[in-house]
Every structure is written in C-alpha cells, then in structure tokens.
C-alpha cells in the first residue's frame, strides 16, 4: 500500500512515532513533506508520541558547537567539529557564526555570539530565531532558555540575568516570544552567581550553584528559576552533604544531578592532592539518591568552571575541565584522558527534537514582526 492512499491523519500519526533525525531528512525530499512536518501541530504530536531520542554530547571549541563521541568499549573519543552548522544571516557567504556561549533546553540551543547577538537554534531542523538583546550587551549578562511547563503547549522564554557582585545586585528580566519583547521582573540582592557557574535546564526550569550573600559565612546552594511562575527558588541539598558543590548536570533530560567533592590532605609525589567525588541525582519525589562515588581522585581531574555528564546505567561520569581535558571515569577507574584541542569548558547533553519557537501573533492571526538584530 502506498502512503498516498492512506488517510492524512493516519500518516501523521505514523510519522509522529519516528525519531526526529529521519524526519528532517524526509522534509528535504519535497515541499509537501516539508510543509507537513514543519507545522506546529505536527511538532506537538511528535513531542507526545516520538520514541525517546538518544542523547548526544556537544561542546564548544573555538566558537563552534561540536559533537563529542566516546567509545567506552575501546576507550577513545572523537570530536566532529562540522556536524552542527549555524550560518550567519548577516553574511552573503556561507560563513558560520562565532558562538561565545551555549545553553541547551529541549533540543534547542540558546547561543550568545562573539559579536553580541542572541539566537535560539534548533540544530536538528536548522531553524533559528534571532532575538535583539536588551540594551547593550554586558560581560556580566547571563542568558538561559526555558518554558512554561504548566501550559498546554510549551511557551518558551529567555531569562536575562545581569550578575553584579560589587555591590551584589542581580537584575533579571524575561524575553517573551509571544510579544517579542523584554520585561523587567526584579532585582535579587541576597545571592550571587560566580562567573564560572553555568546553568542547567531540567524540564523547562534552570538550576545554578549560587552563593548566599545575605550574611556571613557565605555558603553555596542550588538556585532554580521557574519559567512558569517567573520566580527564583532554593532547592535543598542531600543531608548531610559535607562536600563542596563543583557542578550541576542532568540525567536523561529529566533529573538534576549534583557533583560534590571532598578534598583530602594527602599528596602524591608530583604534588597533586586526592579528593573523593560523589554524584547525586534527585528523584521524582524530591529526595536525593547517591548513584556513584569516586574515591582518591587526583585534583587536576576537576576544577572550578568544569562541566560533567553522568550515565547512571553504565556508572560512567565524563568531566571536561577548564584546560579542555576530557576525563572519563567508570565506577572507580579512570579509563580515558584526552585533550580536545582549542579552548572550551562546556560539555552538554543535546537531544535532537523538532521543537519550535512559537511565533508572536497580532489580532487576526497576523505574525508580529520580531525586532531586528
């Protein structure tokens, strides 16, 4: 039976159960398929029915988003520098955009560029949404992408946080794609985010390791921003937790993950100290489970500003430190160390999807024109 003889609703239902990457290839075969698979209604159906996509690993090297592939059987790592391509719309040629920072949420990458622009990019479909930054770009600006997870459809928003620690003043505001405009939410003065701290998106909300600054002694805690209520919240740590929080990550795009380190006063001949590492995952009930402990790890494996990814099923943790050296540890063994080349300190999970940014509309269904970049 040819697909043309099938009812349109049945064809859409069948295709909604196919993973994202083959569908993108199908879109390229004809205008008809492109129109059908590019529609917002199909994107919603695909998000509800599609099989869970395999998570990919990406990093930012020399202003380019690169795929990282790790072979655990014959421990090795390969970097694919041209697998993901973001064309510069201001260039007549095929010049790529120089990316300064990248944030992942729901298959979308929020990128700040070297020339101070802001774009939401779906590498799987190739679609982009350029956003005019608020006022002038500052080095203290931090951007995060999230969505209202209490809405019937995902309403994506961008959080801008102007981090100032002297004096401590965090001005935060939201870019709403429904109105194509920024609006100020407030100012927070009782905490600050160190420049090397990176946010992590989990189910539409963003989490950071923040430092309490209301009273001394200062201490770190987990701060979250709920894009539904547009409010900050504190998240309790495992108790007891006699560890310094090194970094946050996400497991299977569903669970927040914490990496804690406890340094020992022991030294090797080369002067490197030892530390115990523990990886904790928060459950659906809000409790914490420790799923991996790494003992007597040399301190040069990790550092402030590092990134990590955890694979609970294979008992594997992957670290990328600020020297751009990738470390892979399985159970309590260090199985791989590799310099990725260039400069980077970000390692992210990326899950391909057909997620779309909603278009702002005017009365009568007309699309609202976005501000020029």
Residue-wise pLDDT tens digits, 93-133: 778 889 999 999 999 999 999 888 999 999 888 889 999 87
Nearest to 213 by CA among 246, 174, 165, 261: 165
Which pLDDT does position 249 carry in this prediction? 92
Which pLDDT does position 53 carry in this prediction? 62
**In whole angstroms, what is the distance from residue 164 CA to residue 174 CA?**
18
Are 53 and 20 spatial neighbours (Cβ–Cβ below 8 Å)? yes
- For residue 367, list its beta bridge partners: 361
Beta pairing, strands 99-105 & 219-226: unpaired
Reduced to 3 states, what is the DSSP secondary structure of residue 42?
A: helix
Q: SS3 helix, strand, coil % of the chain, rounded to 5? A: 10, 45, 40
**In whole angstroms, what is the distance from residue 104 CA to residue 327 CA?**
22
Which pLDDT does position 291 carry in this prediction? 79
Nearest to 260 by CA among 241, 275, 244: 244
- For residue 260, list its beta bridge partners: 245, 278
* 67-105 residues labelled b (16+ CB within 10 A) or e (exposed): bbebeeeeeebebeeeebebebeeeeeeebbebebbbbb
Which pLDDT does position 224 carry in this prediction? 95
Helical segments of the chain, H only = 8-15, 20-27, 31-38, 40-49
Intervals of the chain under pLDDT 70: 1-8, 11, 14, 16, 19, 21, 23-30, 33-34, 36, 38-40, 46-54, 135-137, 165-167, 263-275, 295-303, 345, 359-373
Rg (CA), the chain: 22
Q: And the tokens for 4?
A: 């043309």
**In whole angstroms, what is the distance from residue 111 CA to residue 113 CA?**
6
């Amino acid at each position: 039976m040819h697909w043309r003889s099938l009812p349109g609703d049945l064809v859409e239902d069948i295709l909604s159960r196919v993973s994202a990457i083959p569908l993108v290839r199908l879109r390229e075969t004809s205008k008809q398929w492109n129109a059908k698979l590019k529609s917002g209604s199909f994107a919603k159906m695909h998000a509800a029915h599609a099989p869970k996509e395999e998570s990919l690993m990406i990093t930012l090297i020399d202003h380019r988003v690169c795929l990282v592939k790790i072979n655990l059987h014959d421990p090795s790592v390969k970097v694919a520098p041209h697998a993901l391509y973001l064309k510069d719309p201001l260039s007549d040629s095929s010049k790529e955009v120089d990316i300064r920072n990248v944030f992942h949420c729901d298959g979308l990458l929020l990128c700040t560029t070297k020339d101070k622009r802001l774009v939401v990019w779906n590498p799987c479909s190739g679609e982009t949404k350029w956003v005019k930054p608020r006022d002038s770009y500052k080095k203290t600006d931090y951007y995060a992408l999230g969505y209202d997870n209490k809405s019937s459809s995902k309403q994506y928003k961008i959080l801008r946080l102007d981090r100032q620690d002297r004096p401590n003043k965090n001005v935060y505001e939201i870019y709403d794609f429904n109105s194509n405009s920024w609006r100020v939410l407030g100012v927070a003065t009782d905490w600050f985010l160190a420049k090397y701290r990176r946010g992590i998106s989990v189910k539409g909300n963003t989490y950071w390791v923040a430092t309490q600054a209301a009273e001394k002694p200062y201490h770190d805690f987990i701060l979250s921003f709920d894009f539904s209520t547009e409010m900050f919240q504190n998240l309790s740590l495992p108790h007891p937790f006699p560890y310094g929080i090194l970094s946050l990550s996400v497991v299977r795009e569903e669970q927040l993950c914490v990496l804690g380190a406890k340094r020992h006063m022991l030294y090797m001949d080369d002067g490197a100290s030892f530390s115990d590492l523990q990886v904790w995952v928060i459950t659906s009930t809000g409790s914490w489970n420790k799923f991996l402990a790494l003992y007597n790890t040399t301190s040069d494996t990790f550092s402030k500003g590092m990134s990590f990814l955890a694979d609970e099923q294979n008992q594997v943790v992957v670290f990328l430190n600020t020297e751009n050296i990738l470390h892979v540890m399985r159970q309590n063994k260090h199985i791989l160390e590799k310099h990725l080349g260039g400069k980077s300190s970000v390692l992210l999970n990326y899950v391909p999807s057909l997620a779309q940014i909603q278009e702002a509309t005017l009365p009568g269904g007309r699309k609202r024109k976005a501000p020029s970049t």
